Amino acid sequence: MTLLERADVQGLVVSGYGRMPLSCFLLLRLGDAAAARRWVAALADRVTSSEKPEERRCINVALTASGLTQIGVDGADLASFPAALREGMAAPHRQRILGDTDASDPQLWEWGGSRVAPVMGEVHALLLLYGADEQSFTAVVDDEQARLADAEITVVHRIEPLPLPGRDKVGKFGTEHFGFADGMSQPVVKGSGQEDKLAGDDARRGVIETGEFVLGYPNGYGQQTPWPTVDASSASGRDFGRNGSYLVVRQLAQDVAGFWRFLDEHSRTADGLSDTEARERLGAKLVGRWRSGAPLVKAHHRDDPDMGTDNSFGYAAWDPHGQRCPLGAHIRRTNPRDGLGEDPDRALELANLHRLVRRGRVYGVALESPLGGDDGRERGLVFICVNANLERQFEFVQHSWCNNPKFAGLYDEMDPLLATQPAEGGNYTIQDAPARRRLTALPNFVTTRGGAYFFLPGLRALRHLGTLRPS
């Protein structure tokens, strides 16, 4: 097994910096190319690697295709990057893949999306800053902002995630705005050292080949995913992509009041009264886990906080027909485990060719009383994920699983949480015995507000960018 070259890989690949509650994501527009090259080369010395996340503050950086061009990567070299990165998240046919239509149309985004107000909206780079405490955080943000100003780099948009609410309550994992514990199921990167904690079936389910997340290592097919080159006449240019990853960032606004209103209306008693237990159950049926994180597959009668971090399950043996966790539930669509296909072992292997390391954080203040109506303030999730093949991993999950009306033999429904539903509302089937229940007129609960694909270079590659000459 090849060990991950941790000193050259940015820290975000192996860590979500859980011990750093403060963070700030700056979306940048580069100015003068020479100044940008000096900035990025110097930044390489401050960037946090995967070796050992620092104690007080962390810095990571990623570039879009237009950012690479701006910094001096020429057209022929840019062609060595995958089409998804070059075209960007807002390309018209990608809108169909990602479900960014109607209210989620890139034309309405706050940032990203190559077609939105090109001067203001276009993003060249992303600077991710994290701090363990107020003092270190302010220091790193001030310092980096001063350096950006020196390099004529402007901040196009600024996302300030909040510490995940309810972290203390559920331990390691945070709670997203709808009220559900999030982030239990993460692939473990082989060669990162973290796989030592898993064994047996959990290892089979959760440990994924290094090359699925970092370029330059064997992927799930035992092969190298081709990596991009920048100035192939030099060794560092030929190895430009090595130890790099692709980063997906999407700002997803959540309609928390709408979500709970829908659950409330569809779980009332025959007399039309709110029924707390039925409401919670319906929410769990849409998500696939209870609020605590306990999976429906295991805790199918009621929430069980003791199982809040339980990730040791498959679908084939426990729940082949979706009568515990519906076939179209959010967690079943985003990771079907061994549930798709006739042979569970093979199904698991195939599903594991489409895994994502998620590094997102929530933004916006929590809604005090979700059943009391909306307060008009935006809140949601900054979805961030790391993968080595945008098309086979992130886009596949989004299109062939989440947004696919035909997922798992279904007919006409999409991910109940994420999808942009049709104008007349979406459908949702809750499998049960003796017969299924069908919900109709599902509204959108999530709206895309911005997004872009980035390349997350290794540290040597960042330095290499600093050596590029003006063309």
Question: Where along the sequence are the contacts to other proteins (CB under 8 A)?
Answer: 76, 79-80, 83, 87, 91-93, 96-97, 219, 221, 223, 225-226, 270, 321, 350, 353, 391-392, 395-396, 399-400, 404-406, 409, 411-412, 431, 433-438
Q: How far is the CB of 242 from other proteins (least distance, A)?
A: 15
Q: Measured between alpha carbons, how far is 452 from 71 in angstroms, rounded to an integer?
A: 18
Q: Are 255 and 444 in contact (CB under 8 A)?
A: yes
Q: How far is the CB of 325 from other proteins (least distance, A)?
A: 15
Q: Which CA distances in Å does 262 have to 176, 266, 344? A: 18, 6, 35
Please give the C-alpha separations between residue 135 and each of 128, 131, 139, 142, in angstroms, as whole numbers: 17, 8, 6, 11
Of 290, 247, 351, which is closest to residue 25 (Cα–Cα)? Answer: 247
Q: How far apart are CA 16 and CA 12, in angstroms?
A: 6
91 DSSP β-pair partners: none
Minimum Å gap between C-beta 229 and other proteins is 9
Report in angstroms the alpha-carbon separations of 196 from 14, 253, 345, 346.
Answer: 14, 36, 22, 23
When the beta carbons of 193 and 218 are compared against other proteins, the nearer one is: 218
If the CB atoms of residues 23 and 403 are measured against other proteins, the closer one turns out to be 403
Taking the least distance from each CB to other proteins, the nearer of 91 and 417 is 91
Q: Which is nearer to other proteins, 48 or 225 (CB)?
A: 225
The first and second tokens of residue 11, run together, are 């820290």
Q: Whose Cβ is closer to other proteins: residue 10's or residue 398's?
A: 398
Closest approach of Cβ 437 to other proteins, in Å? 7
Q: Which is nearer to other proteins, 19 or 438 (CB)?
A: 438
Beta carbon nearer to other proteins, 272 or 409: 409
Cα 126 from Cα 158, distance rounded (Å): 10
Give the β-pairing of 361-363 and 181-182: unpaired
Smallest separation, CB 357 to other proteins (Å):
20
In angstroms, give the least distance from the CB of 322 to other proteins: 9
> In whole angstroms, what is the distance from residue 463 CA to residue 8 CA?
11
Q: How far is the CB of 240 from other proteins (least distance, A)?
A: 13
Q: Which is nearer to other proteins, 350 or 366 (by Cβ)?
A: 350
Give me 103's structure tokens.
């209210």
- The helix-helix angle for 256-265 and 276-287 (nearest 10°) equals 120
Question: Of the two residues 85 and 382, which places its CB atom closer to other proteins in the complex?
Answer: 85
Toward other proteins, which CB reaches closer, 263 or 410? 410
What is the C-alpha to C-alpha distance for residues 289 and 30, in angstroms, rounded to an integer? 42
Question: β-strand 181-182 against 207-208: which pairing, if any?
Answer: unpaired
The answer to whether 178 and 186 have CB atoms below 8 angstroms apart is no
- Comparing CB distances to other proteins, the nearer of 297 and 340 is 340
Q: What is the DSSP letter of 10?
A: B
For residue 63, the minimal CB distance to other proteins (Å) is 19
Cα end-to-end span (Å), the chain: 40
Q: Kindly state the tokens that stand for 177.
A: 């705005």
Q: How far is the CB of 394 from other proteins (least distance, A)?
A: 11
CB of 212 to other proteins, least distance (A): 12
Query: Please, what is the minimum distance in Å from the beta carbon of residue 172 to other proteins?
Result: 33
The set of long-range contacts for 364-371, using a CB threshold of 8 Å and a minimum separation of 24, is 364/162, 364/177, 365/162, 366/165, 366/177, 367/177, 367/256, 367/257, 370/179, 370/256, 370/257, 370/259, 370/260, 371/257, 371/260, 371/261, 371/264, 371/274
Can you say whether the dihedral through the CA atoms of 79, 82, 83, 88 is positive or negative? negative
